Amino acid sequence: MGDIDIDWLLDTRVAIVAGKGGVGSSTVAAAYALAAAREGANVLFIAVDARPGMGPLLGGRELDHNDRVLRKIKGAGQVRGRTIPADQAFGDYLEMKGVSGLLRRASSSASLPMIAAATPGLEHLLVLGKIKELEKDRSADLIIVDAPPAGHAAPFLRSATSISDVVNSGPIREQAVEVDSMLRDAERCMAMIVTLAEETPVTEAIELAGELTIEVGLALLPVVVNACWPDRPGLAKTPAMAARSHKIKLSADAKRALASSATFGRARLERQHLQIERLAAELELPMLMLPRLVTPRLTPHHLGELADAILAPLTDPSEVS
Amino acid sequence: MAATASPDSTSGGSLGDVIRTAELLVTTGPGGVGKTTTSAALGVAAALAGRRVVVVTVDPARRLADALGLDEGAAADEPHRVEGVVGLGDGPDDGELWALMLDAGSTFDRLVREQTANERQAKVILENSVYRAISGSLAGAQEYMAIERLHQLHSSGEWDLVIVDTPPSRHAIGLLEAPDRLVGFLSHPVYRALTAGQRAFAKVTNAAASMFLWAVRRLAGPQIVEDTVEFFRSLSEIEPGLRRRAGEVATLLRADVSSFIVVSSPRAEAIGEAEHLVGALRDGDFPLAGVVVNLIHPLPEPLTAKDRALLDDLGEGPLADHLNWHDELSELAIAEREELAALADLAEDVPVVELPLLDIDVHDVEGLAGLADLLVGHG
């Protein structure tokens, strides 16, 4: 693999990884962190809505609000990990603003739900604000944000703009403006959309891309097509025909066994191809194909396989047909 | 439809009984496992069994929304008749299928109107800028409104069965905790201090409340303070109603007429969440009626040892493609079945229905009917 292909890996300082529920965006975010560390980067992995198991998957402890090293790569970089609870982000923010004493007590965790209720999107904004601070301090070469799942990624990232509709002045407004300018600056922050090569996930990825670029102003990293089956052109032939080209004669049992998987395989591969084509045509973004792991249960070993795949060359959308 | 997978034969009971007898059906589970499609298919099954059914959904994928007639032109929050269900069934006793896309904001508005003494009082709340900004986003509001709508539809007496497809959530019990969260919000000391027997714009004397207002003013500006106080005060007028309703909903969800179905996929993390949900439903005395596992890879027929020996060292070529594919698919399918065993153990006496990964996205009523057949079996 040439150097040119993986330049995108460290193209920006904050990479926000987002996808609808069930497409594996948390796993892809973790694999991206591991891949960047292998390339020598000091990476900070931030889980916004920490699912249990992400820390161990990366080779360390369960994530919490402490910034901890999860994995050091010999002769290369490292992966650190943490979460950002909204109440802690709020406390940090007040401290940073020099707000102290009474006001801090008044507005610390006990009142946060009340203040948050009065200002929709505030919790999200505080988390993004904390990420912005970490970026400004250059606390890592690359910050990878595992965005909230399902339908929550867009509202999370839109919080800076939507809060401006309600709050016209004061430090929260300032915070929203600062977060907004980070999100619009591709050198500082970009988004990675993760999808599957299936109809509904592709449709939703296309919609998410529109929301993030137009409404939030984010630039996009390569789009990740997760869980791709490897191409098996031989499946186009029947098992008997395929056997002939190997000069083997199959038993009736073997033919039946192979046919039982091939029917399903042909349909899956055809569908996968079709959906990748659609994604390429609609988004015109470079694509990164990650392999389908032959297991329903992910281990650190599998994460390594995915990191290998992240370091592989990108697919040019104009070459998909 | 992909290769065969049949409903689990070892479990007792069936979802067929559930869709014929339940009055409320709540589906819950992690995101991306086909929960909305499953809910819609259960709706079709119930309609074909002669019942008048409404399926309440939050954010259906586009093709499913099309299948249910919930495309963009359709008004949100009102039931629409789903065409094409009649005629698929066995005959004259076909029921009706209706679908409704939940709009948390409209449901909250309706709740406010119901709970206020008059239109003027309702208007004060509905036109408040803070109310307008938060009615759709208040912590747990969407989940709460899903069950609030369920309650409205159930108590209207117009429906034999109301099916609610809950918003996907990593901690999917959010829905069940929503009434408590709303009541918790209303019980917050700051909220109480702001609303306790005071007229609008009266001086707030409580220390915690003054600090809260001070903080909001410092952080978010003065305008929002006025709106917030006014909103909290007007909300307090409907508070008794909100609390009563939260209690009614909590009782209804635990009643015999209600049934919960947990939907999962065979992936370890989804199963972990499903197990968590099953436990939470049992702990909370919510009636669990079944578990549906979607997206299961078909298990190919095995190769005999003799055949396998013959196929050793194939190198590359079309037959190697066949063999590799067969091996990978078998490995994945077997591993998925091992993951499922844990869930089946946990489900104990309720049916576990396993559905194959479909080759196409369900995009019409016929597709849903096919799925319905797999879910509830024939007859």
Note whether A53 contacts B269, CB cutoff 8 Å.
yes
Beta pairing class for A68-72 and A78-83: antiparallel
Task: For chain B, give the mean pLDDT.
Answer: 81
Q: For B97-107, b where at least 16 C-beta lie within 10 A, e where not — what string?
A: bbbbbbbbbbb
Identify which has the larger pLDDT, B171 or B246: B246
Closest chain B C-alpha to A235 CA, distance in angstroms:
6
- Give the domain range for residue B20: 8-302+324-376
Mean pLDDT of B283-301: 94
Non-local CB neighbours of B231 within 8 Å, separated by 6+ positions: A118, B125, B128, B130, B131
Count of domains in chain B?
Answer: 1
Residue B201 has pLDDT above 50, yes or no: no
Between positions 59 and 98 of B, the ones with CB within 8 A of A are 59, 61-63
Q: Is residue B164 part of a domain?
A: yes
pLDDT score of A150: 53
Non-local CB neighbours of B80 within 8 Å, separated by 6+ positions: B68, B69, B70, B74, B98, B99, B100
Residues of A in contact with B314 (CB under 8 A): 246
Cα gap A163→A157, rounded to integer Å: 11
Band the pLDDT of A81: cuts 50, 70, 90. very high
Identify which has the larger pLDDT, A152 or A290: A290
What type of residue sits at position B131?
A: Y
The residue with tokens 């962190």 is A33
Between positions 110 and 129 of B, the ones with CB within 8 A of A are 129
Q: Is residue B233 part of a domain?
A: yes
Band the pLDDT of B300: cuts 50, 70, 90. very high
Residue B192 has pLDDT above 50, yes or no: yes
pLDDT score of B40: 94
Cα gap B30→A219, rounded to integer Å: 29
Closest chain A C-alpha to B174 CA, distance in angstroms:
14
Q: Dihedral, CA atoms, A20, A24, A29, A35, nearest 10 degrees?
A: -150
Non-local CB neighbours of A106 within 8 Å, separated by 6+ positions: B208, B211, B212, B214, B215
Q: Which of A261, A298, A299 to mutate to test the interface with B (most CBs of B within 10 A)?
A: A261
Long-range contacts of A200-207, Cβ-Cβ distance < 8 Å, separation of 24 or more: A200/B61, A200/B62, A200/B63, A200/B361, A201/A19, A201/A20, A201/A22, A201/A23, A202/A275, A202/A278, A202/A279, A203/B61, A203/B62, A203/B63, A204/A20, A204/B61, A205/A19, A205/A20, A205/A279, A205/A283, A206/A279, A206/A282, A206/A283
The alpha carbon of residue A229 and the mean position of all alpha carbons in its chain are separated, in whole angstroms, by 20
pTM assigned to the model: 0.88
Q: Which of B28, B66, B325 to mutate to test the interface with A (most CBs of A within 10 A)?
A: B325
Band the pLDDT of A149: cuts 50, 70, 90. low
pLDDT by residue (tens digit) across B224-262?
677 777 777 777 777 787 778 878 888 898 999 999 999
Cα gap A79→B109, rounded to integer Å: 47
Sheet bearing B24-28, strands edge to edge: B80-81, B96-101, B52-57, B161-165, B24-28, B258-264, B288-296, B352-356
Residues of A in contact with B296 (CB under 8 A): none
Mean pLDDT of B45-68: 87
β-pair partners for B162: B24, B54
Is the four-CA dihedral A108, A109, A111, A113 of positive or negative sign?
positive
Residues of A in contact with B31 (CB under 8 A): 20-22, 149-150
Residue B269 has pLDDT above 90, yes or no: no
- Which run of H or E residues covers position A180? helix A171-183
What type of residue sits at position B332?
A: L
Note whether B268 contacts A51, CB cutoff 8 Å.
no
Mean pLDDT of B171-194: 65
pLDDT by residue (tens digit) across A15-28?
999 998 889 999 99
- Token readout for B310 is 């013959």
Note whether B322 contacts A245, CB cutoff 8 Å.
no
Cα gap A6→A221, rounded to integer Å: 11
- Which run of H or E residues covers position B108? helix B104-115
Q: Dihedral, CA atoms, B214, B220, B223, B228, nearest 10 degrees?
A: -70
Residue A152 has pLDDT above 60, yes or no: yes
Note whether B269 contacts A234, CB cutoff 8 Å.
no
Note whether B218 contacts A254, CB cutoff 8 Å.
no
pLDDT score of B195: 65
Residues of A in contact with B310 (CB under 8 A): 248, 250-251, 254
Q: Tell me the ipTM for this assembly.
A: 0.89
Poorest-confidence range of B35-49, B118-132, B217-231? B217-231
Cα gap A104→A107, rounded to integer Å: 5
Q: Is residue B1 part of a domain?
A: no
Cβ neighbours, 10 Å, residue B248: 14
pLDDT score of B176: 66
Residues of A in contact with B62 (CB under 8 A): 200, 203
What type of residue sits at position A81?
A: G
Cα gap A190→A127, rounded to integer Å: 16
Closest listed residue to residue A265, CA positions, set A297, A238, A302: A238
pLDDT score of A104: 59
Identify which has the larger pLDDT, A170 or A32: A32
CATH class of A7-231+284-319: alpha beta
Note whether B183 contacts A: Cβ–Cβ < 8 A.
no
Q: Which of B219, B267, B304, B311 to mutate to test the interface with A (most CBs of A within 10 A)?
A: B219
Mean pLDDT of B194-208: 56
pLDDT score of A151: 62
Poorest-confidence range of A49-53, B223-227, B337-341, B372-376? B223-227
Closest listed residue to residue A233, CA positions, set B319, B301, B330, B3: B319
Q: For B303-325, b where at least 16 C-beta lie within 10 A, e where not — what string?
A: beeebeebbeebeebbbbbbbbb
pLDDT score of B137: 56
β-pair partners for B97: B53
pLDDT score of A79: 98
Instruction: Identify the burial level of A90 via C-beta atoms within 10 angstroms of its C-beta, where 0-12 means exposed, 13-18 middle and 19 or more buried.
Output: buried
Q: Is residue B310 part of a domain?
A: no
pLDDT score of B199: 45
Identify which has the larger pLDDT, B141 or B302: B302
Mean pLDDT of B269-288: 90
Q: Look up the CATH number of the domain holding residue B92.
A: 3.40.50.300
Band the pLDDT of A291: cuts 50, 70, 90. very high
Poorest-confidence range of A99-103, A154-158, A309-313? A99-103
- Token readout for B182 is 């709303």
